[in-house]
Amino acid sequence: MQFEKIKNYETLLSHGDREARETVLKVTDEVLDRLDVYKYFKRFIRREGDTLTIGHQVVDLNKYDRVYAFSSGKAGNHMARAFEEILGDRLTAGVTIIKIKEEIDVKTLKKTEIFVGGHPLPNKEGIEGCKRMLELADQMNERDLLLLGLTGGCSALMGYPVEGVSLDDLKEATDVMLKNSMWVMDINDIRGHLSRMSRGRLGQRIKGAKIFCFEIWDAVGLDDITDYSYPVPIMGTPVGYDTITFEDIRAIIRKYNIEDKLPKSVANYLMNSGPEEETPQEMSNDVDYYIVNTMPDSCRHAMDVANEMGVDAHVLTTYASGESKDFGTFMATLAKEIQMTGRPFKAPCLIFSAGETTTAIGADDEITGHGGPSQELVTSFAIMADELGLSNCCMLSMDSEGTDGTCENAGGVTDSTSMAAAKKAGVDLRRQLEGHACYEALTAIKDGLFTGNTGTNLCDFNVLYVGEKK
């Protein structure tokens, strides 16, 4: 089989339980291919001459003097490439703020300026990209058209702090929130109020232009949307009104008890700002807002792929949360139950889950290496699989956008043999897990998963294969 997304599949298949590994890798690669937003846009947005079709809408390009395309997020470059190819000579200018720039971006993007922002911590280049977007936004009028593409990570990548808050303070605040294992939506709400771009503030600068906004929704809460061809009510995007107020932000800060941990400028702004600093609670822009994908889509595509492969499959949850290492341990116990009792499913089978598990990090001196939640999940699975005496089982976990935590790895793949392989290589998996150094551990036993940019961002995607006990 030719793998499109997984770059190191040969290495991953060179050891361990090959049959189980090949099954999870085949499913994952095909799911990522079906989720690629570049391919989705080329189907969803079509241009014929001066007519642009977006879903069920038909747009007459003759109504507009200038057409702009902005994008940001971990899959922002895939969106930018699609926008430029679709619009062709009608594109006036574009800006994309992304996490990882690829060679293909440099080769294909001729009218789109590329800025590599910081994630999870914002950086100066991301701010320069924001300034360029705002410069173009200030020029727009009723004879202009803007296509705006957003994917997960844009809150950090477009982290242009409000006046009085420095970049270093914003980075420190983000670091504080990440290390307190805060829910990602709470983090985004706070960062949105600290940004000159988020929660409608970009839209405030655009006067009269028609806007089409497209977003990969990488959080729970929109599971009931199944037809993406129609626009939906716009939410707290850079061009949509905000539903969160400073009072809500203060409640979040009290909930996690982090006021004293935040930089003084950040705490002062969030705790003391009045109505004049509030994010827009209503918008006057003409915006049509389209959802591109939602969290359950990875598991929905996975079920389709498994059915095509003829493998019995089940979705466990699309709300996975909590400690990653605990989830990995649980998945190993679930595999044991299936093999020993045939409950709740019979082997062989595939079990899919999605969501966003996290890892709590205490003092910095606890950290002995690098890693991320998905790598911790598969490492803990390997440890428990060995304790339970599992065989013919494999666990894959990845951040669907292609990078997990602080690493170039998307995640990892371990199976019933990984603990033995680690011992043979002189790697103490338990100690590496305790030190949040799973990247080094998985690299040593060749179990790190590498994809590069995938073109999607639907948080974590997990695949468990349970074969018959050997």
For residue 251, tell me if it sits in a domain. Answer: no
Same domain, 239 and 119: yes
Q: What is the pLDDT of residues 364-401, one digit of tens each?
A: 767 888 999 999 999 999 999 999 999 999 999 999 99
Same domain, 119 and 238: yes
Q: What is the pLDDT of residue 1?
A: 62
Residues near 384 by Cβ (< 8 Å), separated by ≥ 6? 328, 329, 332, 333
The DSSP H or E segment spanning 387 is helix 373-388
For residue 205, tell me if it sits in a domain. Answer: yes
Same domain, 15 and 149: no
For residue 149, tell me if it sits in a domain. Answer: yes
Q: What is the pLDDT of residues 233-267, one digit of tens each?
A: 877 789 988 989 999 999 999 999 999 999 999 99
Q: Encode 99-110: b = buried (16+ Cβ within 10 Å), e = exposed.
A: bbeeeebeeebe
Q: What is the pLDDT of residue 469?
A: 87
Cα–Cα distance, 228 to 206 (Å, whole number) = 26
For residue 93, tell me if it sits in a domain. Answer: yes
C-alpha pair distances (Å), 163 with each of 231, 277, 376: 34, 10, 38
For residue 260, tell me if it sits in a domain. Answer: no
Helix axes 246-256, 184-193, angle to 10 degrees: 130
CATH number for 112 = 3.40.50.10180
Same domain, 147 and 231: yes
The answer to whether the peptide bond before residue 296 is cis (omega within 30 degrees of 0) is no
Q: How many structural domains compose the chain?
A: 2
Give the angle 431-357-215 at the CA atoms, nearest 5°.
Answer: 140
For residue 118, tell me if it sits in a domain. Answer: yes
Residue type, 257: N
Side-chain-facing half-sphere of 187: CA atoms under 13 Å: 24
Residue type, 11: T
Boundary residue ending a domain (255, 271, 293): 293
**216: which strand partners?**
293
Q: Mind giving me the DSSP string for 152-201?
A: TTHHHHT--BPTT--HHHHHHHHHHHHHTT--HHHHHHHHHHTBSSTTTH
CB 159 within 8 A of CB 198: no
Q: Mind giving me the DSSP string for 21-34?
A: HHHHHHHHHHHHHH
Same domain, 17 and 93: no
pLDDT tens track, the chain, 470 positions: 678 999 999 999 999 999 999 999 999 999 999 999 999 999 999 999 999 999 999 999 999 999 999 999 999 999 999 999 999 999 999 999 999 999 999 999 999 999 999 988 889 999 999 999 999 999 999 999 999 999 988 888 999 999 999 999 999 998 899 888 788 789 989 999 999 999 999 999 998 899 999 999 887 766 667 789 999 887 778 998 898 999 999 999 999 999 999 999 999 999 999 998 999 888 778 999 999 999 999 999 999 999 999 999 999 999 999 999 999 999 999 999 999 999 999 999 999 999 999 888 876 767 888 999 999 999 999 999 999 999 999 999 999 999 998 889 999 999 999 999 999 999 999 999 999 999 999 999 999 999 999 999 999 999 999 999 87
Same domain, 115 and 41: yes
Same domain, 333 and 432: yes
CB 266 within 8 A of CB 161: no
Q: What is the pLDDT of residue 319?
A: 93
pTM assigned to the model:
0.89
CATH number for 415 = 3.40.1480.10
Cα–Cα distance, 438 to 405 (Å, whole number) = 11
Cα–Cα distance, 70 to 262 (Å, whole number) = 31
CB 114 within 8 A of CB 77: yes
Same domain, 18 and 150: no
CB 467 within 8 A of CB 393: yes
User: By residue range, what is the domain housing residue 19?
Assistant: 9-35+296-466
Residue 408 corresponds to which tokens in the numbers above? 């170039």
Same domain, 86 and 16: no
CB 439 within 8 A of CB 409: yes
Backbone dihedral angles phi then psi of residue 233, each to the nearest 5 degrees: -55, 135
Q: What is the pLDDT of residue 76?
A: 95
Same domain, 323 and 369: yes
For residue 389, tell me if it sits in a domain. Answer: yes
CB 459 within 8 A of CB 295: yes
Same domain, 454 and 308: yes
For residue 448, tell me if it sits in a domain. Answer: yes
Sheet arrangement for strand 210-216? 112-116, 93-98, 66-73, 144-150, 210-216, 286-293
Cα–Cα distance, 81 to 104 (Å, whole number) = 9
Residue type, 158: M
Same domain, 151 and 75: yes
